Amino acid sequence: MQLVADLDSVLADRRRALQQTRGRRRLVLVAVIAVAIVGFGGYKLLAMSPAFSVTTVDVSGATPQLSAEITRELDHDGATGKSLLQTDAGALETRLEELPYVKSATVDRAFPHTLAVSVDAYSPAVFVESGETGWLVAKDGRVLAEAATAPRRVARITIPPGAVLQVGDLTGDADVSSGLLLLRAAPRGFHRSVGRVNRLISRSGTITAVVGHHIQLRFGEPVDLPLKMSVVERVMRRIHGGQRRDLAYLDVSAPGRPALGLRTTPPLSTSG
């Protein structure tokens, strides 16, 4: 009988211990939930307060004009005035990358009141003319803007009147694409050793670049352009002063047999 009483006492103590453990666990759980509720409520109150509202947009990597456009876009989207705690940086980056001149954008929160935007911006590579209409186009073919005149040091290319390029899209025009392909193939320092490309002539599947005021570099079909460019550099290094002023064109459509023509003489062949 004594053994049974002792066993009952042990079991009773065990039950009380288990109940106490369960009680402590429930208390801890209740405390955690309470802290979470208070924290979430505090976060919501803080997010709704003006403590971290956006009052400044700091844009880096963009021209003043593009910076102003980005600031207007963020203001239009309601980013300014909103709390930094409620700002969806990823969504803003996606929105800014829809702007024609923005190649990529990074948006960071700079507490307490600044939205920091870092931009990798496009630069115009060619000015495309079609009749009285013109567009600025980046090297990868993205149409940046409609424009009335070409900026300095931007090559011109003419396409048939009536053609239309869509701002923000990649150009599908074959003549423009051929000209951009040639510009992308130009080696570093090409403008110093040969001259700056001022105009591109693309017709009948061939591409010609005009450097300086009058020298035509005739590349033929836009294939093997790195090789043809190297031939142009090699030949042009041998032509100086008055000879270069008299040069009308250099034809490297057959890069193994480059030919040049002077303003006053018939075409001449030159060895590589």
Q: Which residues contact 148 (CB under 8 A, 6 or more apart)?
A: 134
Q: What is the 3-state secondary structure (H, E, C) of 204-259?
A: CCEEEEEECCCEEEECCCCCCHHHHHHHHHHHHCCCCHHHHHHEEEEECCCCCCCE
pLDDT of amino acid 25: 60
Alpha-carbon gap, residue 210 to 227, rounded angstroms: 18
Domains, in order of start, for the chain: 53-121 (3.10.20.310), 124-269 (3.40.50.11690)
pLDDT of amino acid 126: 97
Q: CB neighbours (10 Å) of residue 127?
A: 20
Q: Which residues contact 78 (CB under 8 A, 6 or more apart)?
A: none
Least confident range from 50-64, 160-174, 198-212: namely: 50-64
Query: Could you tell me the pTM of the whole model?
Result: 0.76
CA neighbor of 171 nearest in space, from 146, 141, 130? 141
Highest mean pLDDT among 80-84, 130-134, 237-241: 130-134
Q: Answer whether residue 50 shows pLDDT above 80.
A: no
pLDDT of amino acid 86: 86
Highest mean pLDDT among 52-61, 82-91, 114-123: 114-123
Mean pLDDT of 22-27: 55
pLDDT of amino acid 38: 44
